[in-house]
Amino acid sequence: MVGKHPCPECGANLEWNARAQSLKCPYCGTVVPWSEEVREELGQAVVEQDLAEALRNPQNGRGWGPQRYEVQCQNCRAISVFVDGRVAQRCDFCGSPSIVAHEERSDAITPQSILPFKVSDGQIRDRIRQWYGSRWFAPNKLKHAALTDTLHGVYLPYWTFDAHVSARWQAEAGYYYYTTETYRDASGNTQTREVRHVRWESASGSLRHFFDDALVPGTVGVHTDLLRQVEPFPTTTDLQPYTPEFVRGWTVERYQVDLRKAAQLNEQDMDAEVRALCARQIPGDTYRNLQVQRTYSGRTFKHVLVPVWLVGYTYGSQNYQIVANGYTGAIAGERPYSWVKIGLAVVAALIIAVLVWSVAQNA
Ligand SMILES: [Zn+2]
Ligand SMILES: [Zn+2]
């Protein structure tokens, strides 16, 4: 299914180069511009897969090829996939050297599409430097790690889901009205006040909605709160069909949220949104007893890979990560606080306070 486009000079396998936004030969350096022709030669179109069909036949669409090699980190549990015969020495996600070969009974579902790296390592290093510069009280060891440690380019697994929904809803719509009441205040005087009441009327309605490319992350290697901060990845517009050329020379994380689990999470997300959409249709000022019956149809999914740049480091006994979106350059990070630096700042502030105080006393 997937075609081949070897290096025109030496015949080796080409790799994706973020800086050049082209395919490049790692051996002789020949650059092959990314064109429609190359794309057609290499990949099939980005297609949506039928969800029900895939859940019924879990063996379809699997197989990364014979060169695939997987390792699992004993520290952070992330599983890395290499398609180019490379063997890792350390975990790309947390830097731990305790990695073991990972054997899975069933092969992973092959990605259908990929968002190739757009931001190069040089650009990201500049941004990390700026990010670090704006962090006071971070230990110098972090500065060292952020500026000199190996920056890893990693493709993270995501699931994206499409679905049509048709829903019917019933609820009691509440309309506010006000009456004037008289009452006696604390000193026994007669006062009046406005009191709000609700008149309840039953209401019902229906809606149709299309969910397009709802994302569910399948990663365990990158901390979820950091991932949320560097999203979104423009998967609706800028995806390319998956071909091994894009991931050769890069690390790919194997998903650990499987399709069945991801589909459940997606359904929970959709249920919440359908309920919110129905609630918006209810007339009046408030509502209660909202009942929603919904049917999903035409549910499809894609397994996609998205690019991030990662610096993972250990400080004390904790793992910290700096994550950058490999497509948009958005950056987020965790950092420890240096209690030495904070302590020195507090002492300096106290000395100044004491000096000011003694000057004021002597004046
Ligand atoms: Zn070559
Ligand atoms: Zn790890």
pLDDT at 284: 96
Given a cut of 60, whether residue 291 has pLDDT beyond it is: yes
Q: Which ligand number lies closest to the CA of residue 76?
A: 2
> Are the beta carbons of 268 and 224 closer than 8 angstroms?
no
Residue 31 main-chain phi, psi, to 5 deg: -105, 130
Number of domains, the chain: 2
Report the share of the chain in percent with pLDDT over 90: 40
Q: Which ligand number lies closest to the CA of residue 8?
A: 1
When pLDDT is averaged across residues 153-158 and rounded to a whole number, the result is: 93
Q: Comparing C-alpha atoms, which of 107, 57, 52 is closest to residue 254? A: 107
- pLDDT tens across 70-114, in order? 889 888 888 888 877 777 788 888 888 888 888 776 667 888 889
When pLDDT is averaged across residues 293-322 and rounded to a whole number, the result is: 87
Query: How far apart are the CA of 221 and the centre of ligand 2, in A?
Result: 7
pLDDT at 353: 86
> From CA 26, how far away is CA 152, in angstroms rounded?
17
**Lowest mean pLDDT across 16-30, 54-68, 234-248:** 54-68
Pairing of strands 69-73, 49-50: unpaired
User: Are 292 and 152 contained in the same domain?
Assistant: yes
**Which is more confidently placed, 144 or 32?**
32
pLDDT at 66: 59
When pLDDT is averaged across residues 9-16 and rounded to a whole number, the result is: 89
Report the share of the chain in percent with pLDDT over 70: 90
User: Are 308 and 230 contained in the same domain?
Assistant: yes
Given a cut of 90, whether residue 177 has pLDDT beyond it is: yes
User: Are 158 and 209 contained in the same domain?
Assistant: yes
User: Are 328 and 252 contained in the same domain?
Assistant: yes
**Lowest mean pLDDT across 169-173, 310-314, 348-352:** 310-314
Given a cut of 70, whether residue 319 has pLDDT beyond it is: yes
**Which is more confidently placed, 203 or 343?**
203
When pLDDT is averaged across residues 103-132 and rounded to a whole number, the result is: 83
> Are the beta carbons of 303 and 159 closer than 8 angstroms?
yes
Given a cut of 90, whether residue 273 has pLDDT beyond it is: yes
Tokens found for residue 83: 């398609």
| Residue 261, domain member (yes or no) | yes
Query: How far apart are the CA of 7 and the centre of ligand 1, in A?
Result: 5
User: Are 11 and 77 contained in the same domain?
Assistant: no
Query: How far apart are the CA of 1 and the centre of ligand 1, in A?
Result: 24
> Are the beta carbons of 80 and 91 closer than 8 angstroms?
yes
User: Are 54 and 110 contained in the same domain?
Assistant: yes
> Are the beta carbons of 242 and 315 closer than 8 angstroms?
no
> From CA 235, how far away is CA 257, in angstroms rounded?
19
pLDDT at 1: 40
Q: What range defines the domain where residue 338 resides?
A: 44-169+203-346
Residues 6+ apart with CB under 8 A from 74: 96, 98, 99, 100
User: Are 136 and 261 contained in the same domain?
Assistant: yes
Q: Which ligand number lies closest to the CA of residue 313?
A: 2
Q: What average pLDDT does the chain have?
A: 86
Q: Which ligand number lies closest to the CA of residue 12?
A: 1
pLDDT at 360: 84
Query: How far apart are the CA of 28 and the centre of ligand 1, in A?
Result: 4
